[in-house]
Amino acid sequence: MFTIKFMSFFQGEESTETVISAPHYEVYTHTNGVKTVCAYKDFISIDGVARTVMSDNLADELDLNTPYYHVCYIENMAGKTIARIQTQ
């Protein structure tokens, strides 16, 4: 099981954090630089839940009107961070 933490930061000290647990996940890097993390409830890669990760600069540049997070951390079962997903 992996712990997947999505975080966003706003002006001042405001932030949001969404944490999910999943046995299987995939990270997609799109040609425009946007990254998508898709978590699955089992080891079959269908019916996953996708969340977008990108920077504010990239969102402004692409003029995307979609909810997104600034960074995503993936932890293994021992609590060790094994991946950090973020755009420039």
Structure confidence at residue 50 (pLDDT): 95
Structure confidence at residue 71 (pLDDT): 97
Structure confidence at residue 65 (pLDDT): 83
Positive or negative, the CA dihedral 80, 85, 69, 14 is positive
Question: With left for phi above 0 and alpha for psi between -120 and 50, is residue 41 left, alpha or beta?
Answer: alpha
Structure confidence at residue 44 (pLDDT): 80
Q: What is the C-alpha separation between 8 and 37, in angstroms, rounded?
A: 15
First to last CA, the chain: 28
Kindly state the average pLDDT of the residues 79-88.
94
Structure confidence at residue 72 (pLDDT): 98
Average pLDDT along the chain: 93
Q: By percentage, how much of the chain surpasses pLDDT 90?
A: 81
Domain boundary assignment for the chain: 2-86
Structure confidence at residue 8 (pLDDT): 95
